[in-house]
Amino acid sequence: MKNLNLSKKMMLVFLGSIACTILFSFFFIHYLYTDLYKERIKESIIYQGNRTAAHYHYGELSDSIIEKIQWYNIVSEYEIIVVDRLDDLTSYFPYQLDYQSLVTESDQEILATGQSVMKEGYVEELKREIFGGIFPVKGEDGLIGFIYIYVPLAAIQDVFRASLPIMIVVGVVFFFILFLILQRVWRSLFDPLKTLQAYSEEVSKGDYSNRLNTGRDDEIGKLATAFNSMSHSLAEQDQRKKEFTSNIVHELRTPLTYISGYAQLSRDKIDRSPEEVKQYLSTIEKETERLKKLIHDLVELNHLEQDFYTLENEPIAIAQLLFDTLELFAIRMEGKGIHLQTSIDEELILQGDPKRLQQVFYNTIDNAVKYAQQEITILLMANEKGVQYEVSNDGVTIGDEDVERIGERFFRTDKARNRTTGGSGLGLSIVKEIVRLHQGTFEVSNKTTDTTVTIKLPVAPELAQRSEV
């Protein structure tokens, strides 16, 4: 059974159902024959035997009684034998039942008490089953005679001769209709599964374009929906993987190109002035640090996405944490001439990881400083569920098609990836994962001249405890 596919198993179930139905029909017909037909014959024999014995008076057979018995033997299916002595019965019925005498010693003992004896058995000469009864007739001085009434039993096919064709026709029609129904169910069940199997093989080869449309709401429809969802997710993951590979190659190539180029210049122009060589080495150092930061951010992001990081859950004066972070950008904002507007509720207390939340503040403010031209607005306030943090900057606007992608790995709105803004495109991805671990929400909105990052954190989130690997 383990090596059979589902269609063969269903075929076995169907054939087994037919076999069980035929077997049940056989036993049911046998039951009708044994318990109904034979029982009816038995009751009729007992009735006729008692009725005939009532006409047998004192051992004498009048002409009227003989005529009645002969007439009854002619018009009835029953045979009646009346004898004065039990030994004479074998003369009128010279057959054996199941190769035994008609009357056995135990039968004689029962008849002697005045009770009737029912006899059943196969008579080879008649090629039939015989069912009958011996009825004793009592007189004033004891038993004065015996009446034997018997009838050859009809074969089971004779009993159901009239109804058998109807049963066969009804059975054929029933199984034909059942076959049509099962064939339709079979096709509706296995055609989508065969298609799903073929599509799954295509998925294993990297083709995620196929979709299974059944228009059904049953288990097959749900399976098709799950397959379509899986194919869509795999297609998106494959696209992200390709973009990730392309992006990381691009991000790694740039610093490595600079490092290789300036290292070669330093080697080839070793006779140049120390200041020029120092400048080359300084560029190599910057690009090395940029490469290290890229790798560090990538490892950290993967660490957060795989839920390997255990958050430090403690009460935090969130406003103070934000003020401390803003101090780190004071010189940069002053150098760019950026005006900072803040609205911060200093009474807010939040449960979370202070190191990771400061990283959220740092990355979002750093991103705003990079792209702001004149103004940055920061809000920290209570909302209906906890704390809401917003950072807005004017300047570069984001296309609607890019807003949903902010927070993806290596995604940056500056398609040219110019070196003036720098960055690896991982900062907001890390922010998004930290917010998720704090059971908060991350959202980016784009207005005419402003871009706003909104983060909502619950006051007392139920942080999942994870073991650090």
Shared domain for 297 and 337, answered yes or no, is no
Q: Are 292 and 342 in a shared domain?
A: no
Pick the most confident of 167-171, 204-208, 302-306, 362-366.
362-366
If asked whether residues 261 and 350 sit together in one domain, one would say no
Give the per-residue pLDDT at 388.
Answer: 93
pLDDT in the model for residue 463: 35
pLDDT in tens, 415-441: 544 444 555 567 788 888 888 888 899
Contact 147, 59 (CB under 8 A): no
- Which of 142, 158, 174 is the C-terminal boundary of a domain? 158
Q: What pLDDT, in 10s, does the model give residues 236-281?
A: 778 767 766 766 676 677 677 767 777 777 776 665 667 777 777 7
Tell me the mean pLDDT in the region 34-63.
70
Mean pLDDT computed over every residue of the chain:
76
- From CA 375, how far away is CA 349, in angstroms rounded? 28
Please indicate whether residue 103 or residue 403 has the higher confidence score (pLDDT): 103
Helix (H) or strand (E) holding 143: strand 142-152
Same domain, 232 and 100: no
Dihedral angle sign, alpha carbons of residues 98, 102, 103, 105: negative
Same domain, yes or no: 107 and 57 = yes
Q: What is the pLDDT of residue 412?
A: 61
pLDDT tens digit sequence for 225-235:
888 888 888 88
- 356 and 412, same domain (yes or no): yes
pLDDT computed for residue 236 by the predictor? 79
How far apart CA 82 and CA 79 sit, in angstroms, is 10
Q: Is residue 313 predicted with pLDDT exceeding 90?
A: no
| Cβ-Cβ contacts under 8 Å for 152 (sequence gap 6 or more) | 123, 126, 128, 129, 130
Domain that holds residue 253: 219-302
- pLDDT band at residue 390, thresholds of 50, 70 and 90? very high
In terms of average pLDDT, the best of 184-193, 400-409, 413-422 is 184-193
Same domain, 374 and 347: yes
SS3 392: strand
d(CA 100, CA 113): 22
Q: Is residue 170 part of a domain?
A: no
Distance CA 359, CA 355 (A): 6
Residue 120 pLDDT class (50, 70, 90 cuts): confident
Domains in the chain, number: 3
- Pair (121, 140) in one structural domain: yes
Predicted local confidence at residue 169, as pLDDT: 79
pLDDT in tens, 140-165: 777 777 888 888 876 555 555 556 67
Last residue of a domain, one of 302, 336, 355: 302
Distance of CA 418 to the CA centre of its chain: 51
The DSSP result for 386-430, as a single string, is EEEEEEEEESS---HHHHTTTTSTT--S-TT--TTT---S-HHHH
Residue 205 lies in a domain: no
Model pLDDT, residue 35: 66
What's the pLDDT score for residue 343?
93
Which SS3 state, helix, strand or coil, does residue 387 take?
strand
pLDDT band, very low/low/confident/very high, at 379 (cuts 50, 70, 90): very high
Indicate which CATH number applies to the domain containing 124.
3.30.450
At residue 178, the 3 state secondary structure works out as helix
- CA 273 from centre of chain: 75
Do 385 and 219 contact (CB within 8 A), yes or no?
no
Does 107 share its domain with 223?
Answer: no
CB–CB of 352/346 below 8 Å? no
In a domain, 208, yes or no: no
Specify the higher pLDDT residue, 253 or 63.
Answer: 253
Please, which pLDDT band fits residue 338 given cuts at 50, 70 and 90?
very high
**Tokens for 432?**
């998004």
Q: Is residue 336 part of a domain?
A: yes
Domain end call among 267, 302, 337: 302
CA angle 394, 395, 398 (to 5 degrees): 95
- Give a yes or no: residue 207 inside a domain: no
Instruction: Tell me what pLDDT residue 217 has.
Output: 75
150 C-beta neighbours (distance < 10 Å), count: 22
Judge whether 176 lies within some domain.
no
Do 290 and 321 reside in the same domain of the chain? no
User: Residue 57's pLDDT band (boundaries 50, 70, 90)?
Assistant: low
Q: How many CA atoms lie within 13 A of 155 on its CB side?
A: 7
Pairwise pLDDT comparison (83 vs 318), residue with the higher score: 318
What is the torsional sign of CA 52, 56, 60, 65? Answer: negative
Mean pLDDT of 33-38: 67
Per-residue pLDDT, 340: 92
Q: Are residues 332 and 296 in the same domain?
A: no
Asked if 329 and 294 sit in the same domain, the reply is no
Looking at the predicted structure, is the pLDDT value of residue 31 above 70? no
Sign of CA dihedral 63, 66, 68, 74: negative
pLDDT given at position 307 = 59
